[in-house]
């Protein structure tokens, strides 16, 4: 004979409103906040997913770019939003450095945001204009030694993983380079192509289309192995820097308290959207990304490791926000 306990009744009573809310969700257009300027890889990933999400959820999906303060401005919009499933964050790897970079954040990264999906990642790449003299990592190191602070590079901002990777390279090679931070990968690409900076570091996702188009030339990649599309480009490890690896990643977050059922529906819609043949091919071939589509059970521990690794470097090198 089944015995109905008070705890079971209470649990069902508390769950009922969340289930009802999930069944009526979404109640209007969905907003996905990208905390960086248009034109970068994070913006591109969000816009790839949007049509599929709109089709599956039956409402418009609006991508809102809210750049500034190392991505914290847009992130705060989501961290303080109502947890009703209408506002989501799609962000980049620099998310993990925010607590160390901005210790007085008006929100708590892990308490105010729930990890929903680890979309995937791509190795970082240093790229330059084809007419620049840098053809290898050794060329970059030699030039930086000859002209301390005279060789410039762009990144998506102070304290981002790309910037930290260059800081590590400088420390290991005993060189100093001039860092020019931007509010997004697209802006860094534009200035590199225009010749305003000597080179840039960005994810393979943001530089690959420009490499394919001939406006940028790759110098070195920071993945554990060579990408098939960059088979002629050595890794930093091959260049003599053992252990110097860095991969970009993209993830989706919800305001804390968003009902689990809504998060589950969003995860499913995201997964199906990124599994569409066109979207998946664009991610893997055009943007050279490794598609993971990991759930919160994978994403949560992954994020904790990223915060510990890269946040530790921010504190070690005393990096400050732009």
pLDDT higher than 90, residue 202: yes
Question: How much of the chain is helix, strand and coil, in % rounded to 5?
Answer: 45, 20, 35
User: Can you read off the two tokens belonging to residue 178?
Assistant: 């001039």
Average pLDDT, the chain: 92
Helix (H, G, I), strand (E, B) or coil at 94: helix
pLDDT higher than 50, residue 1: no
Question: If we measure between CA atoms, which residue out of 130, 135, 70, 132 comes closest to residue 105?
Answer: 70
Percent of the chain beyond pLDDT 90?
80
Residue 217's DSSP bridge partners are 128
Q: Where is pLDDT greater, at 103 or 299?
A: 299
Are 117 and 129 found together in one domain?
no
Helix (H, G, I), strand (E, B) or coil at 121: strand
From first CA to last CA, the distance across the chain in angstroms is 65
CA dihedral (33, 36, 40, 43) in degrees, to 10, reads 0
Asked whether residue 5 is domain-assigned, the answer is: no
pLDDT in tens, 132-180: 999 999 999 999 999 999 999 999 888 889 999 999 999 999 999 999 9
Are 32 and 102 found together in one domain?
yes
Asked whether residue 18 is domain-assigned, the answer is: no
Domain that holds residue 39: 28-122+248-316
Q: What is the pTM of this model?
A: 0.86
Number of domains in the chain: 2
Are 197 and 268 found together in one domain?
no
pLDDT of residue 7: 47
């Amino acid at each position: 004979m089944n015995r109905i306990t008070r705890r079971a009744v209470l649990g069902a009573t508390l769950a009922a409103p969340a289930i009802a809310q999930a069944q009526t969700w979404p109640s209007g257009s969905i907003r996905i906040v990208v905390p960086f300027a248009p034109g970068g890889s994070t913006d591109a990933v969000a816009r790839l997913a949007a049509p599929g999400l709109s089709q599956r959820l039956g409402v418009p999906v609006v991508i809102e770019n809210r750049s500034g303060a190392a991505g914290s401005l847009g992130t705060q919009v989501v961290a303080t939003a109502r947890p009703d499933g209408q506002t989501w964050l799609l962000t980049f790897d620099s998310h993990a450095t925010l607590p160390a970079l901005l210790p007085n954040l008006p929100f708590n990264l892990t308490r105010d945001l729930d990890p929903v999906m680890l979309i995937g990642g791509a190795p970082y790449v240093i790229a330059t204009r084809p007419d620049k003299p840098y053809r290898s990592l050794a060329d970059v190191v030699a030039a930086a030694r000859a002209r301390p602070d005279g060789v410039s590079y762009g990144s998506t901002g102070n304290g981002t993983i790309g910037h930290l990777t260059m800081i590590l390279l400088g420390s290991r090679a005993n060189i100093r380079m001039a860092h020019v931070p931007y509010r997004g990968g697209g802006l860094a690409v534009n200035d590199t192509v225009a010749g305003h900076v000597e080179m840039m570091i960005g994810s393979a996702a943001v530089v690959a289309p420009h490499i394919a188009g001939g406006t940028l030339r790759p110098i070195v990649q920071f993945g554990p192995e060579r990408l098939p599309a960059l088979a002629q480009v050595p890794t930093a490890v091959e260049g003599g820097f053992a252990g110097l690896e860095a991969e970009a990643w993209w993830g989706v977050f919800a305001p804390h308290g968003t009902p689990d059922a809504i998060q589950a529906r969003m995860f499913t819609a995201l997964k199906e959207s990124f599994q569409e043949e066109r979207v998946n091919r664009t991610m893997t071939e055009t943007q050279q990304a490794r598609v993971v589509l990991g759930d919160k059970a994978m994403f949560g521990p992954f994020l904790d490791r990223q915060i510990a690794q890269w946040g530790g470097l921010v504190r070690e090198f005393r990096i400050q926000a732009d």
